[in-house]
Amino acid sequence: MPEKATTRQMIRVLEILADTYPEARCALHFDGPWQLLVATILSAQCTDRQVNLVTGPLFQRFPNPDAMAGADQGELENLIRSTGFFRNKAANLIACAAALLQRHAGQVPERMEDLVALPGVGRKTANVVLGNAFSVPGLAVDTHVRRVSWRLGWTKQTDPVRIEQDLCPRLPTERWTMASHLLIHHGRAICRASRPACHSCPVLALCPRTGVA
């Protein structure tokens, strides 16, 4: 692996990707922090598109933490079955809703330490909620961010938390949230896990591995 990219190189990549993907934003459909929190929990090992198909009926049935905390787990499992790992996700959603009621008066908290203390919520989920529901900068590291940042020479780490810790000090805080969106879009469109389309990559000249891991 070549030496890590410099902050200047990283920002240049983000500028190019911003021009390439002007539509880059959170792909999950949500109305407010509660819906985004639930959708992000459901998105683990599942596509955003599938989550969006599920959350419409889900929020009609369980529109708020109070309703979710009192949910029958079997009924909830059936509603979210297509997102995968539905038993664990259902248990976490019920427990998370109960924790919000007990600790935060039913409101989604705006601090990392409070979010990651909720059942089913890790740093990735917390950063998604912070950045997109509260406009608090957060760099969410999913499989696309992990792969693209590694290929670009931005990090030598493979653990998502360590990647976040590696990247954040070298990027301006105000770029953290959008950096996630841009890297995710690029990972889906060009820098795919298998058969990356390097010939079409807008940042090929800044990629030390020519896009191939």
Answer whether residue 2 is part of any domain: no
Catalytic residue among 142, 156, 159, 166: 142
Radius of gyration for the chain, computed over Cα atoms and rounded to the nearest angstrom? 18
Q: Determine which one of 72, 124, 156, 159 is catalytic.
A: 124
Give the tokens for residue 36.
């985004």
Told to judge if 142 belongs to the known catalytic residues of this protein, a careful annotator would answer yes
Print the domain residue range for 162.
7-24+139-206
Report DSSP state, residue 85. Answer: S
Is 213's pLDDT higher than 70?
no
Residue closest to 55 by CA, chosen among 84, 79, 26, 75: 79
- The CATH number that applies at residue 60 is 1.10.340.30
User: Do 41 and 113 lie in a common domain?
Assistant: yes
* pLDDT score of 4: 79
- Residue 195's domain is classified under what CATH number? 1.10.1670.10
**Beta carbons of 182 and 21 less than 8 angstroms apart:** yes
* 36/213: higher pLDDT: 36
Asked, for residue 179, whether it belongs to a domain, the answer is yes
pLDDT confidence of residue 158: 94
* C-alpha span between 100 and 108 (Å, rounded): 7
Residue type for position 9 = Q
Domain termination site, one of 82, 102, 133: 133
Same domain flag for 99 and 164: no
Last residue of a domain, one of 83, 112, 133: 133
pLDDT single digits (tens) 128-182: 999 999 999 999 999 999 999 999 999 999 999 999 999 999 999 999 999 999 9
Boundary residue ending a domain (107, 133, 159) = 133
- For residue 56, what pLDDT is reported? 97
Query: pLDDT value at position 51?
Result: 98
Q: Is the pLDDT of residue 210 over 80?
A: no
Residue 83 resides in a domain: yes
What pTM was computed for the model? Answer: 0.93
Is 156 part of the annotated catalytic residue set? no
| Residues in contact with 104: Cβ distance below 8 Å, sequence separation at least 6, in sequence order | 114
Measure the N-to-C terminal CA separation of the chain; round to a whole number of Å: 10
Specify the pLDDT at position 2. 53
